[in-house]
Amino acid sequence: MHDQASELRELVNREKNNNKMRVIAVTSGKGGVGKTNFTVNLALALAEYGQRIVILDGDLGLANVDIAFGLTARYTIEHLLSGEKTIEQILLTGPRGIGIIPGGSGVQELANLERDRLSNVIVNLGRLEKMTDLLIIDTGAGLGNIVTNFLRAADDIIMVTTPEPTALMDAYGLLKTLKKEVGEVPIHVVINRVRTEADAWATFKRLEIAVRKFLHGSIDLMGWVYDDSLMGRSVMQQEPLGISYPESPAYRCIQWIAGTVAGIYLRPPRQAGGIRGFLSKLLR
């Protein structure tokens, strides 16, 4: 892990100035699969690799990324869209320099922004280009228009699911919609709360077979996270697992996944569009 982190940090520092900010959307077919906790800890692990991270809390109904970090949001993206505040004024700073953009009801406005208000938003969000390498969007669960818009606009999608049959059914439903709505955005699967590596692969295979047979598509397994009682304990403490229990089995898995994510973005298969590309796709 140490050697991998050192190598990736060197690559980040060497290539950081050449790459535009990339956008990754984390989603799930249903609520309760651990999507937000995964997002928060993925951000912490990516920061260990030298990545500059900002999280946009895109869950309209349960905006709680700030709570997961033990922070309280005074302003949200709604204040940015109205012109009352700048991006710097609404941005919270979490551990390891991670930025958090509180979403709230402003998320819906962002996804349906009127053209006459767009220039101010581009100017403000454009300043993220100088302060971050990765914008991670913690989307709402399910298939609402706002979620679909964010997924369509992202450079990559990470879909979190669990081995539970209901979670897999909802994950398949999401993949079916994504095939119609999203197009060529790569989709990576993370299996959360698994007991063993074999469980993770068996779960993924069930999903992969259904996608290949009925959707004529493909997905890839980005990794898995072990079922870990320390995750629940960290949630109750309002402190991310990567801070409270960095040696825990679940966080070790997320560090491994973060290494894969960092590798993807250092050697991207297609050029990133930056914040302007993201907004143009979001509002298309």
Using a 10 angstrom Cβ sphere, with 0-12 exposed, 13-18 middle and 19 or more buried, the burial of residue 127 is middle
> What gap in Å lies between CA 234 and CA 245, rounded to an integer?
8
Residue 37, CB-side half-sphere exposure with 13 Å CA sphere: 27
Q: Cβ neighbours of residue 75 under 8 Å, at least 6 residues apart?
A: 84, 85, 89, 90, 102
Q: Specify the pLDDT at position 231.
A: 96
Q: Specify the pLDDT at position 277.
A: 82
What does R_g of the chain's alpha carbons equal in angstroms?
18
Q: What mean pLDDT is predicted for residues 105-119?
A: 69
Using a 10 angstrom Cβ sphere, with 0-12 exposed, 13-18 middle and 19 or more buried, the burial of residue 43 is buried
Structure tokens at 277: 């590309």
> What gap in Å lies between CA 61 and CA 132, rounded to an integer?
26
Confidence of residue 89 (pLDDT cuts 50, 70, 90): very high
Confidence of residue 17 (pLDDT cuts 50, 70, 90): very low
Residue 161: pLDDT over 80:
yes
Averaged pLDDT of the chain: 85
Q: What mean pLDDT is predicted for residues 228-246?
A: 95
Q: What mean pLDDT is predicted for residues 36-61?
A: 91
Number of structural domains (the chain) is 1
Q: Specify the pLDDT at position 256.
A: 94
Q: Of residues 11 and 65, which shows the higher confidence score?
A: 65
> What gap in Å lies between CA 147 and CA 173, rounded to an integer?
14
Q: Report the CATH number that the domain containing residue 118 is assigned in CATH.
A: 3.40.50.300
Residue 5: pLDDT over 60:
no
pLDDT in tens, 166-215: 999 999 999 998 888 877 788 999 999 999 999 999 999 999 999 999 99
Question: What is the DSSP-derived secondary structure letter of residue 212?
Answer: I
Full residue range of the structural domain in which residue 153 is found = 2-282
Q: Specify the pLDDT at position 268.
A: 42
Determine the 3-state secondary structure of 24 from DSSP. Answer: strand
